């Protein structure tokens, strides 16, 4: 059965030497397609994740960024806004944006584990299992739980953000800016960070005579970021 890109990227070292003949650029493009939020959600279709689920995750991730950014607004933040007469202070807000972005990334990662079916189907393929009913049942439960949890989250997020913006009317602009900067960073950093895995992976597979499995393992660690 034909291997999809996510399978090739996760191959064990010995199999990767035999099957992965891609160049550095091809591998980099593969990571962007399969991991960058926009490409993964709207453009990449050669996997086993329903597109509607991926699009749902994309917009839910923005909502999570919005909520977490709001949770970081405390008395000190309000006092700083008062001192700045409501103007946006990037230097003061940057640590808050970074922390909220890291928390948002962690929450989105947990949601992806629950929602996406690609790994479940790949595991099914690798085991050459013929119990299709079990696979369908397992995936159906994953999707059902995801929609229930995401619906509950959206209701709670909407309630909290509506109350927050109603009480702190003058902070809405700053909160939106913090959210857009944090979310924007999540769309920009993959282009830089996914330059790293190929620097280790391609040399590790280039020479079959020399065993460079350590380099390959390092590349897979960077690939997970």
Positive or negative, the CA dihedral 204, 205, 206, 211 is positive
Give the span between the Cα atoms of 220 and 217, in whole angstroms. 5
* pTM, rounded to two decimals: 0.86
Give the span between the Cα atoms of 129 and 13, in whole angstroms. 24
Are residues 9 and 223 in contact, defined by beta-carbon separation less than 8 angstroms?
Answer: yes
Which 3-state string (H, E, C) describes 132-191?
HHHHHHHHHHHHHHHHHHHHHHHHHHHHHHHHHHHHCHHHHHHHHHHHHHHHHHHHHHHH
pLDDT in tens, the chain (225 residues): 678 888 899 899 988 998 898 999 999 999 999 999 999 999 998 899 999 999 999 999 999 999 999 998 877 777 677 777 667 666 777 888 888 888 998 999 888 988 898 888 888 877 776 777 888 888 999 899 899 989 999 999 999 999 988 888 878 888 888 899 989 999 999 999 999 999 999 999 987 666 788 899 999 999 887
**Short-list 111, 116, 195, CA closest to 153:** 111
Are residues 187 and 104 in contact, defined by beta-carbon separation less than 8 angstroms?
Answer: no
Are residues 62 and 176 in contact, defined by beta-carbon separation less than 8 angstroms?
Answer: no
Position 68 scores a pLDDT of 92
Q: Which stretches of the chain are DSSP H helices?
A: 5-9, 13-19, 24-35, 37-38, 51-71, 75-83, 90-115, 118-126, 132-167, 172-193, 196-206, 213-223
Position 42 scores a pLDDT of 94
């Amino acid at each position: 059965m034909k291997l999809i890109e996510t399978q090739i990227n996760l191959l064990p070292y010995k199999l990767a030497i035999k099957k992965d003949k891609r160049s550095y650029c091809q591998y980099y493009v593969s990571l962007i397609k399969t991991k960058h939020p926009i490409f993964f959600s709207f453009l990449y279709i050669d996997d086993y994740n329903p597109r509607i689920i991926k699009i749902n995750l994309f917009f839910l991730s923005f909502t999570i960024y919005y909520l977490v950014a709001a949770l970081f607004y405390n008395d000190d933040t309000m006092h700083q806004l008062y001192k700045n007469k409501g103007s946006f202070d990037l230097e003061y807000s940057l640590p808050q944006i970074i922390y909220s972005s890291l928390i948002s990334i962690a929450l989105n990662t947990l949601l992806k584990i629950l929602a996406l079916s690609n790994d479940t189907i790949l595991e099914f393929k690798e085991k050459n299992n013929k119990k299709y009913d079990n696979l369908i049942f397992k995936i159906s439960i994953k999707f059902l739980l995801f929609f229930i949890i995401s619906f509950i989250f959206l209701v709670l997020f909407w309630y909290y953000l509506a109350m927050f913006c109603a009480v702190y009317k003058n902070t809405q602009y700053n909160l939106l800016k913090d959210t857009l900067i944090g979310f924007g960073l999540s769309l920009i950093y993959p282009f830089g960070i996914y330059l790293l895995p190929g620097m280790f992976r391609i040399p590790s597979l280039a020479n079959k005579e020399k065993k460079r499995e350590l380099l390959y393992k390092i590349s897979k660690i960077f690939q997970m970021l």
